[in-house]
Amino acid sequence: MEPGADGLRWSTVFFDLDGTLADTIPLIIASYQHAFREVMGVEVDEADARSWIGRPLLPALLEVAPDHGHELDRVYREWNLANTARLIRTYDGIVELLEALDDAGARVAVVTSKRRETALLALEHVGIAHVEVAAALEDTADHKPDPAPLRHGAARLGVDPRDAVYVGDATVDLRAARAAGMAAVGVTWGAGEADELVALGPDAVCTTVAELSGVLLPGRL
């Protein structure tokens, strides 16, 4: 899609949250490690924890530890909430990118596998509380890589998925975008591996926020 007169390549931009808008990766990994240590007395490898990011929490835990999933979920959420303010970080340039998209007239919203309350807390801590959460965990029965959350977000904003892009750091994000009929842009500063993102053939894979800005606002360069 060519940029319009406003400089936008897509009129609606949906963002993943964890590892895309907010640097929650250390918080998530530490939360997993704490939960498994407390509930099962085992250590979780960081690579394993990273591979679970982007999926809804409880299903991932039940898959890994069927007999302990619910207790792991409870302990994870309790520790994660208590340590969010201490461990969450901002990504340089994200606030400015969102401001530029807003100035250009883009519709911007978040589609996440987090619960809405937790997502809003994370957005507040990184200074972008004004961004709407168009779809959260409780909004759909199916979750990424299923397209249901993105379709829900598009319906909530009243936009055509073909006019939208989803930006995320995980392969499940890109697969969900394609299945929803949206453009797909991967970013490498989160949990995903660059080669795995590239292998899915998205519209772009960006290594910096400045590069992402160039993809979303090519007419502003």
Positions marked active-site: 16
Q: Could you tell me if 93 and 209 are in contact, meaning their C-beta atoms sit under 8 angstroms apart?
A: yes
Residues 6+ apart with CB under 8 A from 210: 93
Position of tokens 């959260």? 136
Q: Look up residue 185 and give its amino acid.
A: V
Residues 6+ apart with CB under 8 A from 158: none
Q: Look up residue 49 and give its amino acid.
A: A
Q: Look up residue 188 and give its two tokens.
A: 């490498």
Residues 6+ apart with CB under 8 A from 24: 17, 18, 87, 88, 89, 122
**H or E segment and range at residue 11:** none
